[in-house]
Structure 1
Amino acid sequence: MNKNGTIIIIEDDEDDQFILEEVFNELGYSNQRLYFPDGLSALEHLHTTTDLPFLILSDINLPKLDGLELRRKLHTDAALSLKCIPYIYFTTAINQKAVIDAYSTSAQGFFIKPSKMEDIKNTIRLIVDYWKQCAAPNNFAAVP
């Protein structure tokens, strides 16, 4: 996990993308944000980039490759799994099955998109600040 790395946001709703970008700017996080409208384009990016992203915020209901299937693919891909990129669902899809399915993919969080701007800001702050404080296996120098 690269705490200064890019935040990958997989969201097909352009209004939600705009709101999230406003929130990140207001909160002053310096991490670059990359937005993808579907799981397939995000997966292709993660396979081709040499960058080590900080975290992934993903909707569940996405075209081409939904958030659950994307997480399964990332979790079972040895090279991507070793990057230790936290995968957090940030979605309006709230029901018990969605939450169970999300955690069955070894996601690191499941957050409901609030409807009020201040609540969205508080949720994003909580997510980012938590992961900025977390240690990950690849945060340490190699042991001889």
Structure 2
Amino acid sequence: MEEPVCEALCVFIVDDDEDDQFLLQQVFNEYCPECHVTVLSNGLELLARLSKTTILPTLVLLDLNMPLMGGFEALVRIRQEPRYNALPVVVLTTSNQQEDREKARQLKADGFFTKPSEMREYSELMLTWRRDFLVGTPDS
């Protein structure tokens, strides 16, 4: 497997749902076309890819409920590795449970978002991620 191209803006989407993967790729293509998007299906794939890359992604979007290794376990493993201390990891999940939000915060996630039900809401999320983690405001 090739090392991801992360010379500029690189985002890892870690989600086992193919519809969500596609939707997120479309949102990134529209609002951050300069981002290179890599799609992974679970936490094990994420950890394997991180261990092979010399330049870390600009942002990791991490689902919680995935086979083999879920988001919380992957987040624990990432935060145990000093090399990944500055890696922004944002949880993007179907959960809207306060205990999941609190656990993500305790595990040092950089954000917690419930997956939107409408495209407009995805667009708003993308603008937030762009501002907070990628390139600043759309005009910058």
TM-score scaled by structure 1? 0.84
Matched AA of 1:68: F
Per-residue CA deviations over 1:94-115 (Å, capped at 9, x if unaligned) read 1111111111101110011111
Q: How many residues align?
A: 131
Q: Is the 8 A contact 1:3 1:132 kept in 2?
A: no
Larger Rg: 1
More relative contact order, 1 or 2 (CA 8 Å, 6+ apart): 1
Alignment root-mean-square deviation, CA: 1.7
Identity over the aligned pairs, expressed in percent?
31
Q: Is the 8 A contact 2:90 2:110 kept in 1?
A: yes
- 2-side partners of 1:43 and 1:35: how far apart? 13
Q: Is the 8 A contact 2:58 2:88 kept in 1?
A: yes
Structure 2 equivalent of residue 63 of structure 1? 67
2:30 corresponds to which of 26, 30, 34: 26
2:82 corresponds to which of 67, 71, 78: 78
SS of 1:110's equivalent? strand
Describe how 1:7-46 pairs up with structure 2 within 5 A: 7-46=11-50
2:102 corresponds to which of 96, 100, 103: 100
- 2-side partners of 1:58 and 1:29: how far apart? 20
- 1-side partners of 2:80 and 2:99: how far apart? 21
SS of 2:84's equivalent? helix
Unaligned runs of 5+ in 1: 135-144
SS of 1:32's equivalent? strand
Q: Is the 8 A contact 1:88 1:109 kept in 2?
A: yes
Unaligned runs of 5+ in 2: 1-5
- 2-side partners of 1:38 and 1:28: how far apart? 23
Displacement of 1:121 after TM fit?
A: 1.2
